């Protein structure tokens, strides 16, 4: 294969050849492990959707706890990036990787909408934590490949990845478009959840159960 076929792929999808298997497996394990502790709330838009959709049924994440979870999630995203830098002997630095384009904006809407809808749908139909963990891990692994943005789909992760100037990072100038896309995606998923899963049969074993 000539370089003319290789170079665009490298620059458009940095390190896309690295398989996301470790990400999806690790995420699934963490969901199962931490579901009994904190509901496995790693994602601010998922937590916000859970709090909003659960106001009437009286289940899910209470609003007062959401206000505590949000800064903790962002701090966790930043801390995770710093820890990853340290494990791979990479200096912590502000990313210079520009990612915001119309294509990645749309991709983040799709990725986030799919993730939030998946979690809300499985939770509201009473699926147990291992099922949700498997489904979420599989979705994240697939979305890494079928979206041009590599499926950040998480505001805390997006902010955290500012602090790694590697192929995984995102420049500060690209963060606001990504966050806006994620909020739009979450809003879309909330609407679809109400339409598709109007009745909540949330299991006490689910990651998002209160």
Domain ranges of the chain: 23-196
pLDDT by residue for the chain (210 residues), tens only, comes to: 444 333 333 333 344 445 556 777 888 888 889 888 888 899 999 999 999 998 765 567 888 899 999 999 999 999 999 999 999 999 999 999 999 999 999 999 999 999 999 999 999 999 999 999 999 999 999 999 999 999 999 999 999 999 999 989 999 999 999 999 999 999 999 999 999 998 776 543 445 544
For residue 189 the two structure tokens come to 């998923």
Q: Topology of domain 23-196, per CATH?
A: Glycerol uptake facilitator protein (1.20.1080)
């Amino acid at each position: 294969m000539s370089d003319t076929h290789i170079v665009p792929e490298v620059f458009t999808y940095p390190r896309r050849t690295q398989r996301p298997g470790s990400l999806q497996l690790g995420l699934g394990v963490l969901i199962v492990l931490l579901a009994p502790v904190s509901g496995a709330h790693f994602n601010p838009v998922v937590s916000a959707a859970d709090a909003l959709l659960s106001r009437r049924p009286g289940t899910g994440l209470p609003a007062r706890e959401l206000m505590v979870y949000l800064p903790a999630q962002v701090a966790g995203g930043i801390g995770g990036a710093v820890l990853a830098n340290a494990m791979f002997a990479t200096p912590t630095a502000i990313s210079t990787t520009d990612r915001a384009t119309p294509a990645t904006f749309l991709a983040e809407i799709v990725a986030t909408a799919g993730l939030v809808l998946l979690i809300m749908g499985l939770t509201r139909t009473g699926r147990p934590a291992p099922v949700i963990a498997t489904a979420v891990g599989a979705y994240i692994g697939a979305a890494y490949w079928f979206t041009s943005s590599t499926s950040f789909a998480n505001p805390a992760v997006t902010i955290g990845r500012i602090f790694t100037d590697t192929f995984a990072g995102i420049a500060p100038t690209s963060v606001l478009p990504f966050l806006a896309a994620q909020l739009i995606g979450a809003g879309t998923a909330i609407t679809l959840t109400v339409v598709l899963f109007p009745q909540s049969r949330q299991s006490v074993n689910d990651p998002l159960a209160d």
